[in-house]
Structure 1
């Protein structure tokens, strides 16, 4: 299987803090496939782990890389990339 990656600029005003991290991790978990997220050249972490996502310390404007493989990987990465680009703090 081909591993797919997406690099996304984070749009949320306060980065991936509690609420956006929770929404993102839940969406990653719901995809049913293994997905990792990494910041810069850092070690990838499980995208479905809220604590793992928060621990990355992602701020607004940071770039993160998502990686997934399996059936539905492209659709899952598209959906997660859209979530990351959204500013949840403006709602």
Structure 2
């Protein structure tokens, strides 16, 4: 399962609107996508799961994808986080 680490640089972190943008992007892919912060893991396609991670500016997270479009999903979601 491929994974990439990315640091969140946006001022508000992955709060309501940015988390919704991220989860909506993740939902476009068939692959299972997971976000990991420290030892906590969340389904990237679920806004509530992402919000529970309490990802703030400066936090480093790992995005993992597994499935038929995993590489595409991973690349796109890293870009989404970097562009927030």
TM-score (norm 1): 0.86
Larger radius of gyration: 1
How far, CA to CA, are the matches of 2:8 and 2:74 in structure 1? 14
| Structure 2 segments unaligned to the other structure (5+ residues) | none
The answer to whether the Cα contact below 8 Å between 2:30 and 2:67 also exists between their aligned partners in 1 is no
Alignment map for 1:1-91 (pairs within 5 Å): 3-40=1-38, 42-87=39-84
Q: Which has the higher strand share?
A: 2
Which whole-Å CA distance do the structure 2 matches of 1:22 and 1:36 have between them? 15
**Aligned-residue CA RMSD in angstroms?**
1.0
Write the distance in 2 (CA, Å) between the matches of 1:61 and 1:47. 19
Aligned length: 84
Q: Displacement of 1:11 after TM fit?
A: 2.0
Deviations 1:14-70 (A, max 9, x none): 000011100000111111211000112x22110001001011000011100011111
DSSP-derived class of the 2:40 partner: coil
